[in-house]
Amino acid sequence: MIQATMTETRLTKIAELKITGHALSAPYGHDIVCASVSTLCSVLSYSFDPIFRDDGDTFLITASLAQRGNQRLWAAVKANLEQLSKQYPENVKFKHVLIHG
C-alpha cells in the first residue's frame, strides 16, 4: 500500500509530502495507481524549486508555498491524492496534516 502524508505549516508556508510503499494493484508496468502517484511526484519535483529525495522506497519533498502558483499546484496534488485514496482504498492511504504554528 502507498502511504502518502502531506504536512503544511501555515505560519512558515512550508509544506512536505512523504510517500512510501507500493500500490500493488497490478503487475509491474501495468499498475495505474502507482503510475498516478508517480506522476504527481514528478509534477511536484519539476514544477518549482523544491528540496526532494527519492531513494526508490521513500519520496520526500519539502517546498515553499509562499507563492500563489505553488499553493495552487500543491492543492491540485493534494486533491488528486485524496481522490486516489477514495477510489483505491486498498492501495493508497492519504493523510493531510495542517499545522497552524
What pLDDT score does 48 carry?
A: 75
Rounded CA gap, 54 and 60, in Å?
6
What is the set of domains in the chain, with CATH numbers?
2-99 (3.30.70.1490)
Q: What does each of the 101 residues of the chain score in pLDDT, given as a tens digit? A: 999 999 999 888 999 999 999 998 888 889 999 999 999 999 998 887 778 888 988 999 999 999 999 999 999 999 999 999 999 999 999 999 999 86
Edge-to-edge, what's the strand order for the sheet holding 92-99? 51-54, 58-64, 14-20, 2-9, 92-99
